Structure 1
Amino acid sequence: MTGPTDLDRLLAALDRVPQRPSSDYDLNRDAFLPEGRVLIPAAVLIGVIGNEVILTKRASHLKHHPGQIAFPGGKIDPGDADPTAAALREAQEEIGLDPAQVTVLTDLPSHETVTGYTITPILARIEREFAATAEPGEVAEVFRVPLPILLDPARYRIERRRWRGVWRRYYVVPFGPYYTWGATARMLKALADRVTA
């Protein structure tokens, strides 16, 4: 008989620890957030296959976030029934993941980005192996990171850089040649904090 998996531990923590939204501003409390700002709804798929999380490296020619590490996902289109439908559609388009192979587990608290999006992360189990196919217009690479690494708060650090004339602090979680930072790292850090709370 095997014990609980890392995904089981995560799901138990999500039931146990209260959820709250996260933001790119969490480490930058002095940032000015205009009243009445309009955010673009988006959704991403945090897909767990076995004991690994699927991530992508965005294509280098993209106008927004070129070369960055991201979850499969994007804007919620008018034809999407809800954030889950958007995340599954985007995952199929970006990495060739058949929605029939996905068991949606829960939606997570929203994340606001400095670029004007409010992202709903969808946590899901991918039920069997599949041949990931990167959509060349958007995705340069599809890769996996072990879930235990992403659920370990000690793996995260805070860095900073100048953005629009001011210093901005953000989380990073490096793994091999991959440098995951910004919104993706912040959403993952929220999960790690929940497991260890």
Structure 2
Amino acid sequence: MVGTRATRRRNEGIQQIAERLRSLPEEQHEPVSSKLAAVLVPLFQDEDGVVKVWLTQRAMHLNSHKGEVCLPGGKRDPTDPDDAFTAKREAQEEMGLQPSSVQVLCQLAPMLSKHLYSVTPVVAQVPADFQPQPNADEVDAVFAMPLSAFLDAHQHIHWDVRSKSTTQRFYRVHSFDYQGYVVWGLTAVIMICLAELALGRPPDFEVEHPSNARKPRM
């Protein structure tokens, strides 16, 4: 029975997922840093009925995060009225997604990036016929990945973090390989959290966020 329910939810369409996300309780989350940023999580359903998310690969000539896979987004400008505006503005700049075509479904709690930004994920539904137009100044590629893949088997590594007192702290970094792209770090954590909420089932692996640092089990 459990297996049947999980399989059914794997095959749910964008409308069922959108309804589930819209029904989540609205909560006011405080930023986890004074430095604010937001990312858009653009969901759509392809012609085969598979719900996917658009992801970007940052340009190799950038000074930071070059070549990394991430969600479209960036720093919140002082003139931005809210996180949804920031996320939609950045998605338009990076891959040509028109803000008027974006239907916001929900927002997840802010997460702390490795550069100490408070990153708010803004989850949205976008048109199935959207054709990305990568901005070569910022993005090398735009690709779509199935949402359910973030609950399936994956790889992880353990990082050793040393503070000023040289104390060892270990945490798990999630990593997904998909068609030559590697989705890892904060982007992977955001997508795991969203996929669990959207599909109504837990991942097939143990989730550990950097805030739950601990020594890896042997």
TM-score, structure 2 as length reference: 0.71
**Cα-Cα RMSD:** 2.8
Identity, in percent, stands at 31
Name the structure 2 match of 1:55: 55
CA contact (8 A) 2:33 2:118 kept: no
Change (3 A) 1:196 1:18: farther
Name the structure 1 match of 2:177: 174
Which among 141, 154, 157 is matched to residue 155 of structure 2? 157
Aligned residue identity for 1:196? R
- Tell me how far apart the structure 2 counterparts of residues 10 and 155 of structure 1 sit (CA, whole Å): 24
Bigger radius of gyration:
2
Aligned residue identity for 2:201? T
Name the structure 1 match of 2:209: none
Change (3 A) 1:129 1:9: closer
Name the structure 1 match of 2:187: 184
Judge which range, 128-137 or 139-148, deviates more: 128-137
- Tell me how far apart the structure 2 counterparts of residues 67 and 186 of structure 1 sit (CA, whole Å): 18
Structure 2's unaligned 5+ residue stretches are 1-10, 46-50, 203-218
Structure 1's unaligned 5+ residue stretches are 22-36
Q: How many residues align?
A: 178
Deviating beyond 4 angstroms after TM superposition, the runs of 4 or more aligned structure 1 residues are 13-19, 161-168
Matches for 1:36-55 after TM superposition, within 5 Å: 38-50=33-45, 51-55=51-55
Change (3 A) 1:7 1:179: farther
Name the structure 1 match of 2:215: none
Q: Does 1:134 align with 2:134?
A: yes
Name the structure 2 match of 1:31: none
User: What whole-Å deviation, never above 9, does each CA across 1:130-158 have from its counterpart, x for those lacking one?
Assistant: 221111111010110122223xx233332
CA contact (8 A) 2:22 2:105 kept: no
Richer in strand (by share): 1
1:155 aligns to what SS in structure 2?
Answer: coil
- Tell me how far apart the structure 1 counterparts of residues 173 and 15 of structure 2 sit (CA, whole Å): 25
- Tell me how far apart the structure 2 counterparts of residues 7 and 172 of structure 1 sit (CA, whole Å): 28
Change (3 A) 1:161 1:4: closer
Q: How far does residue 61 in structure 1 lie from its aligned partner after superposition?
A: 1.5
2:129 aligns to what SS in structure 1?
Answer: coil
Judge which range, 38-47 or 67-76, deviates more: 38-47
Q: Does 1:196 align with 2:191?
A: no
Judge which range, 135-144 or 155-164, deviates more: 155-164
- Tell me how far apart the structure 1 counterparts of residues 75 and 148 of structure 2 sit (CA, whole Å): 29
- Tell me how far apart the structure 1 counterparts of residues 26 and 81 of structure 2 sit (CA, whole Å): 26
Q: How far does residue 100 in structure 1 lie from its aligned partner after superposition?
A: 1.2
- Tell me how far apart the structure 2 counterparts of residues 16 and 82 of structure 1 sit (CA, whole Å): 19
CA contact (8 A) 1:110 1:120 kept: yes
Aligned residue identity for 1:53? V
TM-score, structure 1 as length reference: 0.78
Q: How far does residue 183 in structure 1 lie from its aligned partner after superposition?
A: 0.6
CA contact (8 A) 1:6 1:148 kept: no
CA contact (8 A) 1:41 1:76 kept: yes
Aligned residue identity for 2:91? A
RCO greater where, 1 or 2, for CA within 8 Å and sep 6 or more? 1
